[in-house]
Structure 1
Amino acid sequence: MNWGVFEGLLSGVNKYSTAFGRIWLSLVFIFRLLVYVVAAERVWSDDHKDFDCNTRQPGCTNVCYDHFFPVSHIRLWALQLILVTCPSLLVIMHVAYRKAKEQRHRSAGGDDRHCMYPNPGKKRGGLWWTYLLSLVFKAGVDVVFLYIFYRFYRNYTLPRLVKCELPPCPNVVDCFISRPTEKSIFTLFMVVITCVCIVLSLIEATYLIGKRCHECLQASSGDSCRHSQDGALSHAEPADTGGTDALEPPGNPSPYPLP
């Protein structure tokens, strides 16, 4: 894996994220990706090799292992990490599209031409929707994978002993899982971190929506204040003009002679 390219992608995501997004990115990188690469792969490296059943019937062990482990934890976590980080890359691609469009706009009209995107990374317009939808998608992916893990492995734990009676097993056989306690601890740890990431994504989405509503309310209140001031000035000017005409009507000279 090229860590330089990955570091560049992370720095780009971190640059255009909010404070909650930076915390989410740190959790994903440290507590999910590094734990997956450094520890989890080694823990599950012997899951098939050390899955023992008390039978010598050919094919029985493979069938029982496939029944109790339809998809490995490692492969599910890898797919989850890929899907949960793709929306952040879409935000970077949207910013890059804005920068390229702004560059073409300037090259066509010169530097004196009005800028289309003075700050391409500012979350306004389409970029705001892209960022918000990315948060919803990330939270949705984590929720779906939590449900998948729960369906495959009840209570997110692994039993020490499983009984299998699938053909070609001759009868009910006992199968033993390798290091079930350690694997259960890692599974629960990843589940807790996933729940924290879901909460952070929802908080960030709520923050974005609340901030946008606050800005809209401020803009609408500012417009209403300007309209009320303009209306007051327009009503005050005719009143002053009428008062001056009443004091000094035309054609009526002053009774006092000028010096």
Structure 2
Amino acid sequence: MFGRVWLYVVIVLRILVYVVAVQQVWDDDWQEFICVTRQTGCTNVCYDHFFPISPIRLWALQIILVTSPSLMVVAHTKYREMKDKKYTTTHQGKHLHAAPGKKCGGLWYTYMLSLVLRAGFDAGFLYILYIIYHFEMFSRVVKCNVSPCLNTVDCYISRPTEKTIFIFYMVVTSSICIFMCICEIFYLINKKVCTYKRKQQNQKTVNYRMDPLRVDPKASSNQNISNVHTVIVD
């Protein structure tokens, strides 16, 4: 369930929104960034100061890196399927893995690593976004006194409200993906622990049933004979 929700958030709420809407917000931003000055190079430096990294390129790189760990899981699954198929042909139809695509064995660790990398990439890009834009509202007018500007000049940002909305949208979707990855990590670890405990409990039960001559020194002889009879009947 967690993986399906994560996939929906990435494909629908991130990739499609990026392709349909986000690119159009910053496509012509350079032409609409105006500074009240005629000094050569001042407008370029001010634009680079307030937008050191274009959010659309930053988000494109984030989507690429976040979806890349899933390729490890796909490659590992294909490798197990090929290995199982080869084993089946040489061992008279027997399968090496009961379910090659099931998250068990080495595939479990590969999938866990992919979840950690997904959450790590999203968290890293959130930190970069905070360092650059501080998650603040864009102002319509900003003051710029960066060299080579000789004095403080006023610069105007086009559609600041729209830009702010999409910046926060990037933050929210990244936070949702991180939360889903963390939930899935805890779910898989808990499931692994429960499975291990259940196997241990079953093993103890089997060992007890395979020892019919077990004698309790604190019990009477009639009780021990009754216990042995019960185990043999079972």
Residue 234 of structure 1 is aligned with which of 200, 213, 216?
213
- Does the 8 Å contact 2:62/2:122 carry over to 1? yes
Say whether the 8 Å CA contact 1:51–1:177 is kept in structure 2.
yes
Q: Alignment partner for residue 217 of structure 1, among 167, 182, 197?
A: 197
Question: Please, which runs of 5 or more residues in structure 2 have no aligned partner?
Answer: 216-220, 226-234
Q: Which amino acid aligns with 2:118?
A: K
Q: How many matched pairs?
A: 218
Counterpart-to-counterpart distance in 2, 1:200 and 1:137:
13
Which residue of 2 is the match for residue 25 of structure 1? Answer: 7
2:85–2:95 contact (8 Å) kept in structure 1: no
3-state SS in 2 of match to 1:162: strand
Aligned to 1:175: 155
Query: Which whole-Å CA distance do the structure 1 matches of 2:136 and 2:125 have between them?
Result: 12
Preserved contact between residue 164 and residue 172 of structure 1 (Cα < 8 Å)? yes
Counterpart in the other structure of 1:54 = 36
Which of 104, 113, 117 matches 1:133?
113
Shift in Å at residue 88 of structure 1? 1.1
- Give CA-to-partner distance per residue, 1:111-145, whole Å, 9 cap, x none: x1532123110000110001111111111111111
Q: Is the 8 A contact 1:51 1:175 kept in 2?
A: yes
Identity %: 49
5+ long unaligned stretches in structure 1? 1-18, 244-259
| Aligned residue runs from structure 1 range 76-155, under 5 A | 76-107=58-89, 109=90, 112-155=92-135
2:56 paired residue number: 74
- Report the counterpart of residue 207 of structure 1 in structure 2: 187
Correspondent of 2:25 among 43, 51, 67: 43
Counterpart code for 2:16: L
Given residue 106 of structure 2, which amino acid in structure 1 is its aligned partner?
A: G
Q: Distance in 1 between matches of 2:113 and 2:44?
A: 42
**Alpha-carbon shift at residue 156 of structure 1 (Å):** 4.3
Q: CA separation in 2, counterparts of 1:89 and 1:214?
A: 28
TM-score normalized by the length of structure 1: 0.80
Q: C-alpha root-mean-square deviation of aligned residues, in Å? A: 1.7
In the alignment, which residue of structure 1 is the partner of 2:231?
none
